[in-house]
Chain A
């Protein structure tokens, strides 16, 4: 935690005051607290204070077996649990050196991309709230997200914390009719994404609120450790799905979306168009889906050889990685989570200082932090 003693009143300049935004505030995306020094409406200095949702998940891992660790990952980025499951399982699989069956890999890609669509829909909807279209955009995007959640519900019974991706495969096969319903959902979402684009990108007020606001140059984005849509929004063409293809991402035909200016609009633009790319990936995966096993044969009690593994994937928020150290017992010795939301949130002072309070909220929304993952 930051030392808050810096903000004693006698040190404040003429006409300045400290506004404490959060942890209870309508648009801090959870429980972020920002100690903001303002001059009138202009933001001079921001100190983000995190830790209000800290549950000690990394430590809890040490007291669980490898399989029992999967449900914990659901509680990280609660808008994209599948991606968290996947990142953890990928790392454990690396430790165990498991060969995952073909069908399981395809199912994983399908659900990961569906999860990315659901998560980006959330991001766009919440972003609407942040710039002031209270609820309208959010209700629309949630309508489509609901369809994906229904698909996931039919898949594993849960709508938020799935615990679906397992070490060596997935927990169960696709239910009957899943493929048809998934295709139908994709058609609907593809149409609706155009509607969102009309709603936002054609709106003069939205453009004025986002274009040129909170600019993060490509160089700064790399130096400050931005990842995911924020990094790509700044024009850096990188994606873990391409640079370190996990599962079978190298078999599909899609492109990495990048923004032009690194402003809030570019980040929104990346979300919107990544939904389109993900729709394409899911369609290809559904077409090629092979028959076969969905889970590798593994012993009931997993005891990886002593050693360590670092596995990373592209979660909807950026590069999510797990670093697991095994001492040869049934429980991991240490688990470290590299969470993209935390990395992106750490850019906030750099990006938002000097803008107005209204812009601060818009910029925070465009960095899209999820506090389950920031605080862990």
Chain B
């Protein structure tokens, strides 16, 4: 058997020893093991040699003149920094206190005199193993740190790009929206978007992608683009949802999807229309009665079903001015305390129940979460939107297809939308795009869209579908109304809505005449117009809006045909 342990790697070993004889003896032993040797005759010299040569291991005599081994060990450890330079004390001291001092001073081991070659070799090898382990750990730590920095840098870039897309909406500008979201929520898969439709309604989306990190963030970009472009063009929730679902289904892997609540809030009509696929219950909070209506998930998340199987049915709830909508991500409910207890729906309900002033609800939930956990998690998204009377009727920035050429001013066009089309297709965005080719109309695009939306839905709902608007006299009837609307639309097999558009130049500028006819039974125009305008009634708001916003409006053919005019002055 070989008395010397096999040498794995040649080391440079510093031997600090004041006795010349011992120095020589040790040097010989260590060299014979295959290592390179440096020597010093006192502590001060040892520190000097260490600084100059950076040996990998030190054999240190404890008691030396000028500077003893304890002090030299302290200084060498300090110079070595994070790198492990093992120091083995050589000592004739035997009392445990002295041996403990060697280790306290930073020594890693000690070797009693007189020297035993076999033990010395074994200790050097053992220390070398430790040294290399430490080096590996440091290397891997640095590697991880570098990767981490790289990842953060990537996230910063991705976030900067994403912010340009995602925050092109009205999330921060709208006075009636409050939200709480960590700046890097995107990388937890959370997404919050808000934008105005051409008629001044507000669309809001709170989404939650599966997973974490960049994979969770990649789907957010196409989703945001679909949301903004379709909202801006006046598409309704159903069309927007269909497009979002189809887009995500196409680009995401099978196991990825996006839970989402999408809603359309209309100050004009005092309603909210909601689609919830896979998100926790949201709430409509009635301020006067204190009642909360849950907005329940009725659908599979976006990106799961094929376009054919996708269900775009929405629910509609009435709202009064000042009422609030509250949406949250599952991070809120899954906030866990020190004992892994979840915050849960019941605690959230308690906060709702304890609320006395609706303006403070948002803070109260925040405080409840913070009090429950001690701190707020970074994957929490909450948003509160109130139905505010001063919601601006603003036009979003539309992308015009023209290149500044003169707009067409003398033309007309007619459409007939029949049953199968009425079921699935909303022609308004298309018609609006067409009309905005006329430069003079762009200033009133919001009003134009609102009027078009109103006369079209009157023609469809009261005309073709024969729904009675007096149903909408209370909240219950309101829900019935929309239920019946969906049922009758699904069963529709005949009927039409015709839209005739005529544009004529006038001396001052131009005039648009929009005539909408339907296949319904018509209505007693004089009787309806004679009704008093009750501002707070849920029904009957449409006609006064149309009269307010357009230059002229009149009915014919027993209420089956309505004609609206918009005039404009030539642009300077």
| Chains A and B form a bound pair | no
B contact residues vs A (CB 8 Å cutoff): none
